[in-house]
Chain A
């Protein structure tokens, strides 16, 4: 570790991941996609943070930025710091990055169908990161790869097969096995269960929770599914149009919801106790990420919006030590949302 990195060490050693004012843009020929705008997150050792938000909110871009793997061009990390165990991923040399990726931090990618290399066997693909990071020989690495396969519920004999011989759900599990192969401190799981059926989904979630308990792995768990969040996450960050509009512990977000968008997400869930109740999807669409408003991006869809919301640049406000919300309406101390009540009528 060089001097500069040591300087970056925070007194708060507990944080495995610390994202500080991260901004990621995709600069295209005639427009700029503002995918991630000035977000900050802290994640402690052994905790799972759910990162939820609509499609296009910037979840995957955030995870890629943590690995310093934003495709460039067109992606540009405009500003910010991403500290993993105190080291800034955005300042590491190529060589240091290669050492950290796959061993300290790894990622389960969203699309398992395209994330595996078609010309290498799944065993080889899992063994590769083991061989790179644990400096062992190919034979030992292949043995470990087979163990990893059985860990995710695939018969180890199938290590010699190629991705095209696997079903979608099995590919997803291979992708998971690759990410877990070297026991990372931090795991970025990008919708790891979307391609799986319900039983397998439960198994994979169990696997992750086990991993957290046994290895003390920290995780960012990206998902659309608030049910999964309730099941496995300790903390939640809600993302909208490239901003984290509300974050806090599971209890903060689920039981003390503050942001109108978070409330909208809950309202759009099917109600288990009252199956005949109509779903209340949030009306409208997320704004075009190439033309974000100066103020609150959710305002056009927000039932509580006031004229000044669109104009006022939003700042994060603390609700409690752990709970933060980005909604200027709370500058008025009497402002309340009516979670669980019917609104959009």
Chain B
């Protein structure tokens, strides 16, 4: 198991390097540098000095190497627009995004999984059809539209929740979380349903029932654990996406998160902040993916046993190394 986890972590490194290099080069290719924007505030000598400092007189790979080296030390460079380290900007905004992502994913898990199971168990019934139509609706509503509708109804007309910002605790969280959660719920409900449908008619559930396992345990224990892999995959992908900041929703609700920070930086040509935000998102998504991969191994014994260590396996099977050596 440790070997499996270790291997996964090692595999993260080339992924992060590859993706971040690609992003770095793409942003670098964009015309104009931060130097053009701040040109008015500095003297030509200072600018020349900065150009050297930022590595604009060397190749893009040099700059990338330097950037990643600094990143490992918690330094994402300095935003010349905000005049603060990008790391600090990012960390300032991260809690809001985490809160929003956590709340929307949690709500969608709590609602979608039971709903998906119900739809699968009552396959073809009215409950099933209604929840699938609802899921389709949820999937096809764009976030900016849903967000605006929620604001019009619950903030402007009813005045129950604030329409913007993250200043009123749970109250400010509810509308943006619903906005993001609706899309997530739709996908997750559909995934749960189809994955449960595959399992629900299986022979091993019949075996469980024939043993006298209560129906609740048949579904929650025997069926759900088998249906879990696609569900975990979807949850992981969604968590990763929302951690990168939901640009649209955060803007509709003026939510002080990463998505909003990224957009503001883009508007001001603050390349260094944009790069920082995107590369941090890449890292976040990779970490979530790692957690997902580890979760797979816990759910699917076929994966786990592949990595169980030889000594443990020998002990279980009761074979001694000598016997094995003789056998070969």
Task: State the A residues within 8 Å of B (CB).
Answer: 67, 69, 71, 94, 97-103, 106-107, 109, 111, 114-121, 125, 128-129, 132-133, 155, 157-158, 160-162, 164-165, 175, 178
Contacts and interface: CB of A to CB of B under 8 A. Distances in A.
B301 interface: yes
Interface in B207-225: 207-215, 222, 225
Contact of B317 (A115, A157, A178): A157
Nearest to A63: B210
B305 A155 contact: no
A117 B212 contact: no
A301 to B, nearest CB: 32
Contacts of B222: 117, 120
Given A102-B212, A109-B207, 17 more contacts: A67-B210, A94-B215, A97-B212, A98-B213, A101-B210, A101-B212, A114-B202, A116-B204, A118-B301, A155-B317, A155-B318, A157-B318, A161-B317, A162-B302, A162-B305, A164-B302, A178-B211
Contacts of A114: 202-204
Contact of A128 (B203, B211, B305): B211
A175 B211 contact: no
Given A114-B203, A118-B204, A98 B305 contact: no
Given A102-B212, A128-B213, A164-B301, A69 B206 contact: yes
B211 A129 contact: yes
Contacts of B210: 67, 69, 101-102, 106-107, 109
Given A94-B215, A101-B211, A160-B316, A119 B206 contact: no
A71 B124 CA distance: 15
B226 A119 contact: yes
Q: Closest 7 interchain pairs by CB?
A: A102-B212, A129-B211, A101-B212, A114-B203, A102-B211, A117-B204, A162-B301
Contacts, number: 91
Contacts of A115: 203-204, 206-207
B203 A111 contact: yes
Contacts of B211: 101-102, 106, 128-129, 132, 178
B300 interface: yes
Interface string B45-74: 000000000000000000000000000000
B263 interface: no
A121 to B, nearest CB: 8
For the residues of B in contact with A, the DSSP-based class is: helix
B201 interface: yes
Contacts of B215: 94, 98
Contacts of B207: 109, 115-117, 125, 175, 178
A157 B202 CA distance: 28
B5 interface: no
A171 to B, nearest CB: 11
Given A119-B226, A160-B316, A99 B212 contact: yes
Contact of A119 (B209, B214, B300): B300
Contacts of A109: 203, 206-207, 210
B226 to A, nearest CB: 6
Nearest to B212: A102
A181 B204 CA distance: 17
B98 interface: no
Interface in B282-328: 299-302, 305, 315-318
19 contacts: A98-B213, A102-B210, A106-B210, A109-B203, A114-B203, A115-B204, A116-B207, A117-B204, A117-B207, A119-B226, A119-B299, A119-B301, A120-B225, A121-B301, A128-B208, A132-B212, A157-B317, A162-B301, A178-B207
Nearest to A101: B212
A125 B208 CA distance: 8
Contacts of A94: 215
B299 to A, nearest CB: 7
Nearest to A110: B203
B223 to A, nearest CB: 9
A125 B305 CA distance: 17
Nearest to A119: B225
B320 to A, nearest CB: 12
Contacts of B212: 97-103, 129, 132-133
Nearest to A105: B210
Contacts of A117: 204, 207-208, 222, 226
A126 to B, nearest CB: 9
B14 to A, nearest CB: 30
Contacts of A119: 225-226, 299-301
A117 B210 CA distance: 13
A218 to B, nearest CB: 17
A71 B203 CA distance: 11
B12 to A, nearest CB: 26
A14 to B, nearest CB: 25
B205 to A, nearest CB: 8
Q: Choose among B203, B211, B213, B305 the residue with the greatest number of A CB atoms under 10 Å from its CB.
A: B211
Interface string B97-119: 00000000000000000000000
A114 B226 CA distance: 13
A69 B210 CA distance: 8
Contacts of A98: 212-215
Interface string B215-246: 10000001001100000000000000000000
Contacts of A67: 210
A158 B211 CA distance: 21
A119 B300 CA distance: 6
A158 B316 contact: yes
B296 to A, nearest CB: 12
A9 to B, nearest CB: 22
B316 A161 contact: yes
A338 B201 CA distance: 46
Nearest to B208: A117
Contacts of A71: 201, 206
Contacts of A111: 203
A40 B52 CA distance: 95
